[in-house]
A and B are shown apart, each in its own frame.
Chain A
Amino acid sequence: MRIPMTEYLIIDLDTERWNCKVCNQDLGEARGNYKEGTLVYDRDPTEIHQSILDPEKYEFTFAPDPTFCRILEFYCPGCGTQLETEYVPPGHPPTVDMLWDIDSLRETWIKRGTKPETVINYGPGEEAVADFTPALGSYNTHNHSPHSFS
């Protein structure tokens, strides 16, 4: 069974791997840090948050100071989707932002007895519909793992 853990990241409980939701690229051990399976780029923040006031005239311009702030961009190596960003001081180690207890996650979903793509949404409200079927549906339906709910 495959569980969407973020907008672009899926945990496959059968293989215990992180996968990209967009292209299914393998991103490493689900018990570990998905960032290890990504491509990373050290972005000068002024390229994203560009100066509105003239940087030739002023120190403070709406653009971050690249000597204080960098944006780490984490890409899927398969499709180039930007999976995550992180704002850090120059040279600061990236944060391991998620570590999940895979055994407990599996146990929880077995107990729930439901398919993630049919029960996970973005929260209350008519608009908050999440469609994970393209990424999960066929896999969860055709998977023959003892933990799947086909």
Chain B
Amino acid sequence: MTLTANERSTTGAAGDKAGDKAGDTADDASQPLTAQEQQWVDQFMDETTLFLGPDPAIMRSHQITSRSAYEEECISKGVDPIKVDRIRKRLAGALDEGYEMCEAMGAAPGAKWGDLTTAIYTAEGDVTYLSCHGVIAFSAILHHPIRYIMKYWKDEPTVGINPGDGFIHNDARYGNVHNTDQSMIMPIFREGKIIAWVAATIHEGENGACEPGGMPSGSETPFDDGLRMSPFKIVEKGDLRRDLLTFLQHSVRDPKLQLADLKVKIGAVQRIQERVDSIIDEVGVETFVAALRVTVEDVEQEVKRRISELPDGTVSFNQFMDSTLKENILIKFACKVTVKGDKMTVDLRGTGPEILNRAINSPLCSVKSMMMQAILAFWWPDLPRCTSAMSPIDIISDEHTWADAGYDAPMGQSLQASFRGFSALQTAFAKMQFSNPEKFSNVLAPWFNQINTFLWGGLTQHGDQVGNLCADLNGMGGGAKAFRDGEDAVSPLFCAMADTAEQEVMEEEVPFMQLVSKRIVRDNQGFGKNSGGMGYEMIVAAEGTPMWGFMTVTSGSKFSSVTGMFGGYGCSTTPLAMVKGINIYDVIRKDSSKFDLSMERIMNEQPYEGGKYTTSHMGLQFDVAKDGEMYMIAQGSGGGYGDVLERDPEAVAKDLELGRISPKVATSIYGVVWDPETFVVDQEATTRLRHDSRQARIARGKPYKEFLEGYVKSEPPKDLLYYGSWGDDTEELTATHFTNNGPERVKATIDKLPLIMLPDRREVKISALEDRIRELELKHGEVVHRKS
């Protein structure tokens, strides 16, 4: 593998300097440096550091720090649990106030629908408390930039940390959910000492990436991902630095947004700081510091206790993603969760390699943040949202896999890997906790895990240049519960209270309409005894703008994104459908009866003459939308729970009557017989059909070992671009490597795999077409002289 800049930076700053020296002078290779020489080398390296990249010592750790001497001193003076509880409640109130300020005043669509958080941290950067609303994943991520600031900028003469300072940051390589989120991080001082930090983070959307909206599916290098803000000081002693602000505004498509939300975050953080000031005035600084630290430690202890209540054993769950967002492949996300006593280990080995010219890679910290989302929202939602909730969990992962990508990998659509991290833990937990009498959340099938929405950008009807996304991202179908159906389009996996927003309000600001919004797609259901929450469709078309375009950034068009639970089925796959070459607004202006639209009807009936009707996977790079051209997608559903033949027949008839499922599904999947006129279930005939269906299963199913002999192959199908371990009993990864002689399948451990890059899909397509032309020329005897 190449030397990453990450490694370069540590080699330059704090790496194995003696080793480097020895490498440079082969003659002295075996001769150790004297203490004096080592000191000179260290001093030289410190003074001439070329570049302070992400620090592996900071970035690989998700554990809380040990108590500082000051924290020890504060705690030694006695901790009153009731007082600590009061402080926690006051903090929760303060953080919620800051959260609501961001939500009410934020300019980013993400802020308006609640995709943000506010938090308070210990002096060392451990998250003590997060706002009750918002994205919990941030509790596993923001200690990284704070530790970086403390390690590199605190004593740096050209930077320093002073009261009133504020640091901005977005790059996930330094610790973030993804690069579209921007943080404002400010210290709290007492008597010249940093005693805590407060931060606000908002999903800003636009960040100057190669495509609008901040989550480019088309990025092929890290430099296509947009702003690369390592933590830096943009507020000095209370004043926002105009020169740096201008640089940032100049670097993104939406300078107004960049300014507005910086001010909103600064305002929210300062308000929280005022509330903290009043708490400290009341209880004293030592009690306050002790309360922050004790909260973090209490959560860690409680998590250990909860782990010890789970049965000892190993639960494994593999996921296969079907897209790089440019072409269809299969890449594995492997996960084994082992519990022994109060220790839990999450092992991601077997996960596919990073793909160095595709946007789907994620740094490990982002994957961990989504694991934290599963832990604090779906396992133990009653716990304070602290960094320490994941401290007792060891995570084993190979660097340079797509879920633990290196510095040189593009990460524009890192959610593809990090959301799989969420699903790995959310799905496994149903099995881990099933037999445990002490549960803090319901037994649940997998939540939908894709970003099925439209990103957009261009010039608005008001002449503003913008780039962002539709809130429909938040309409993910919920997983079925053990005792009831999942809820339709209920909330995104990353934020229980996120809103799908008012489309009509959005239409005031952007030049497109959702011609169909939130219509349930028939049969788009995770079938089961209890069905997964269903997804809805969206049809958009722009008009009245000189330049506009749409993108989609989703996988799951060939391989279902989520599975079922305990015999239930997963979700359908979801396509992107388009009708180009017509203007739907002209059509419906002439005949409004044609407004009765659905993706199924439009695509199957093709009612608009001259239209070009196409489908594709859901990785659409920025596509210029001419007036009235239609783009259609659907939200996915949550997984189903339990055997479909145990579903209440009356519930099936009700779904049928409401048009949620087709007669074919009611019969062939659910085994229900009903009167088509009245939707009354024929109980006897249903019982017979279901009995026959069970007997048919017994007749067609093969004993496990016999089945394996016929089914299991030693490698993936020949033409499938497959990445990851094949089976779970190997340390080797399978991958297709593109050489001078074309694609070559290789099998090796991650450290021995070649760099994986995929060819330009347009060149692949042109090459295939050229081959076909030559074949036809040969067939028809046509001689064409071409120059190259």
Which A positions have Cβ atoms within 8 angstroms of B? 3-8, 35-42, 45, 47-50, 52-54, 57-65, 67-69, 71, 73-75, 77, 79-101, 104-105, 108, 112, 114, 116, 119-125, 127-130
Contact = CB atoms under 8 A, between A and B. Distances in A.
B563 interface: yes
Interface in B115-147: none
B567 A50 contact: no
A85 B443 CA distance: 17
17 contacts: A3-B435, A7-B565, A8-B642, A39-B698, A39-B703, A40-B707, A42-B711, A49-B572, A53-B577, A59-B616, A60-B557, A67-B720, A85-B569, A89-B716, A98-B316, A105-B435, A128-B482
Contacts of B318: 88, 95
Contact of B311 (A57, A71, A104): A104
B558 A68 contact: yes
Given A40-B704, A62-B572, A85-B567, A98 B317 contact: no
B484 to A, nearest CB: 6
Interface stretch (B31-39, B205-213, B411-419, B721-729): B721-729
Considering residues A42, A59, A80, A82, which has the most beta carbons from chain B within 10 angstroms of its beta carbon?
Answer: A82
Contact of B697 (A68, A73, A89, A100): A73
A64 B711 contact: no
Contacts of A62: 521, 523-524, 572-575, 634
Nearest to B598: A52
Given A5-B431, A77-B701, A58 B603 contact: yes
Given A58-B575, A101-B312, A85 B563 contact: yes
Contacts of B482: 7, 122-123, 128, 130
Closest 8 CB pairs of A and B: A39-B701, A80-B694, A91-B713, A60-B575, A100-B313, A123-B442, A101-B312, A7-B566
Nearest to B310: A108
Contacts of A81: 567, 643, 645-646, 694
A75 B313 contact: no
Interface string B550-573: 000000011110011111111111
Nearest to B703: A39
A69 B559 contact: yes
Contacts of A80: 693-698
Contact of B437 (A48, A57, A82, A112): A112
A35 B576 CA distance: 37
Contact of B567 (A8, A42, A93): A8
A52 B698 contact: no
B527 A122 contact: no
A38 B566 contact: no
Contacts of A114: 437
Contact of A5 (B435, B600, B613, B668): B435
A119 B567 contact: no
Considering residues A40, A79, A85, which has the most beta carbons from chain B within 10 angstroms of its beta carbon?
Answer: A85
Contacts of A50: 523, 662, 664-665
Interface string B664-703: 1100110000000000000000000000011111101111
Given A35-B704, A82-B645, A92-B716, A52 B694 contact: no
Nearest to B726: A92
Interface residues of chain A: helix, strand, loop or mixed (majority): loop
B701 A73 contact: yes
A97 B317 contact: yes
Given A3-B435, A124-B442, A129-B483, A75 B566 contact: no
Contact of B643 (A8, A45, A54, A116): A8
B429 to A, nearest CB: 11
Contacts of A84: 566-567
Interface in B459-491: 481-484
Contacts of A73: 697, 701
Given A8-B643, A45-B560, A99-B314, A119 B437 contact: yes
Contacts of B62: none
Considering residues B604, B643, B694, B695, which has the most beta carbons from chain A within 10 angstroms of its beta carbon?
Answer: B643
A88 B320 contact: yes
Contact of B641 (A3, A7, A87): A7
Nearest to B713: A91
A53 B615 contact: yes
A65 B572 contact: no
A102 to B, nearest CB: 9
B617 to A, nearest CB: 6
Considering residues A114, A119, A122, which has the most beta carbons from chain B within 10 angstroms of its beta carbon?
Answer: A122
B11 to A, nearest CB: 40
Nearest to B693: A80
Interface in B596-610: 599-600, 603-604
A99 B599 contact: no
Given A98-B314, A122-B443, A4 B435 contact: yes
Given A54-B604, A57-B613, A124-B440, A97 B315 contact: yes
B303 interface: no
B604 A53 contact: yes
Contacts of B51: none
Nearest to A63: B573
A52 B524 contact: yes
B669 A48 contact: yes
A52 B600 contact: yes
A99 B337 CA distance: 11
A90 B720 CA distance: 10
Given A7-B482, A68-B720, 5 more contacts: A40-B704, A45-B560, A67-B720, A80-B697, A92-B726
Nearest to A118: B437
A49 B484 CA distance: 21
Interface in B753-786: none
A83 B567 contact: yes
A39 B705 CA distance: 9
A120 B634 CA distance: 37
Given A36-B704, A38-B704, A85-B567, A122 B442 contact: yes
B369 interface: no
B313 A57 contact: no
Contact of A57 (B442, B604, B643, B664): B604
Contacts of B571: 49
A53 B523 contact: no
A2 to B, nearest CB: 11
Given A49-B569, A58-B575, A114-B437, A95 B317 contact: yes
A103 to B, nearest CB: 9
Contacts of B668: 47
Contacts of B669: 48
Contacts of B693: 80
B81 to A, nearest CB: 24
A74 B711 CA distance: 14
Contacts of A36: 704-705
Contacts of A59: 615-616
Interface string B413-437: 0000000000000000011011111
Contact of A60 (B439, B560, B576, B717): B576
Contacts of B521: 52, 62
A87 B573 contact: no
A87 B701 contact: no
A98 B315 contact: yes
B306 interface: no
A75 B439 contact: no
A122 B445 CA distance: 12
Contacts of B524: 52, 62
B720 A53 contact: no
Nearest to B716: A89
Contacts of B567: 7-8, 74, 81-85
B698 A105 contact: no
